[in-house]
Structure 1
Amino acid sequence: MSYVDGYVLPVPKANVAAYRKLARKAGKIWMEHGALQYVETIADDVKPGKSTSFPQSVKLKPDETVAFSWIVFKSRKHRDKVNALVMKDPRLDGMGPQAMPFDMKRMIFGGFKPIVQF
């Protein structure tokens, strides 16, 4: 089975184009270093829930939308190797928290081990 890094984050609607540009650049870098798949999505049918929801998870503001993204790897070991290479890639220089077109403090992320996969 593979291994997946997943992300949920708020993106100001005015910054969606900048986020897409950043995601394209980042995706190319992850893929060049060995990721199997890199996917970035923007909310299309995501409503606030009564108890939990994507909007609530990132404390979504009225002028924001939710991004849901994932990167697929062969295994956790492969993920760790690829991510180490990505973090050393000079093309990511200057892409710290201040340069992001979203609030990194409200980003949710983690690694996931699939339990069912087709």
Structure 2
Amino acid sequence: MSYIDGFVIAVPDANREQFIEHARTLDPIFLEIGAIRVVECWGDDVPDGTLTDFRRAVQAKQGESVVFSWVEWPDKATRDAGMAKLMEDPRMPAPSDMPFDGKRMIFGGFTPVVSLPG
């Protein structure tokens, strides 16, 4: 069964194209180290909640959009090995070179329990 890494970040709207270029540079490395699929989604309909919501979760400020992304791996062992390789890869940008504040990133690994089709 596959394994999913999920990410939610706040990206300044002014950095949208810089973020897309960052993803186009970094995401192929995920595929190179074993990922099956990488999806980057720019927030389009991200409503404010009454108790919690995506914007609050990443402390999105005025002029920032929420980005929801995931990396699909064939299994957790491939993910663990791949992420170790990624952290050592010289192509991995420094936190100061990211087009967003990585301190407000939410991420985690997930085991799928339902997947349709399939």
Aligned to 2:101: 103
Which stretch of structure 1 is more off in the superposition, 44-53 or 80-89? Answer: 80-89
Aligned to 1:70: 70
Whichever residue aligns with residue 109 of structure 2, its letter is G
TM-score, normalization by structure 1: 0.94
Q: How many angstroms apart in 2 are the aligned matches of 1:87 and 1:107?
A: 16
Q: Secondary structure at the match of 2:77?
A: helix
Whether 2:33 is the aligned partner of 1:33: answer yes
State how many pairs are aligned: 116
Aligned to 1:14: 14
State the Cα RMSD in Å. Answer: 0.9
Cα shift at 1:86: 2.0
Percent sequence identity is 46
Q: Secondary structure at the match of 1:55?
A: helix
Q: How many angstroms apart in 1 are the aligned matches of 2:97 and 2:86?
A: 17
Cα shift at 1:82: 1.3
Aligned to 1:45: 45
Cα shift at 1:85: 1.9
Q: How many angstroms apart in 2 are the aligned matches of 1:53 and 1:99?
A: 27
Cα deviation code 1:82-110 (max 9, x no counterpart): 11222222222xx1111111111110001
Deviant stretches of 4+, over 4 Å = none
What 5-or-longer segments of structure 2 have no aligned partner? none
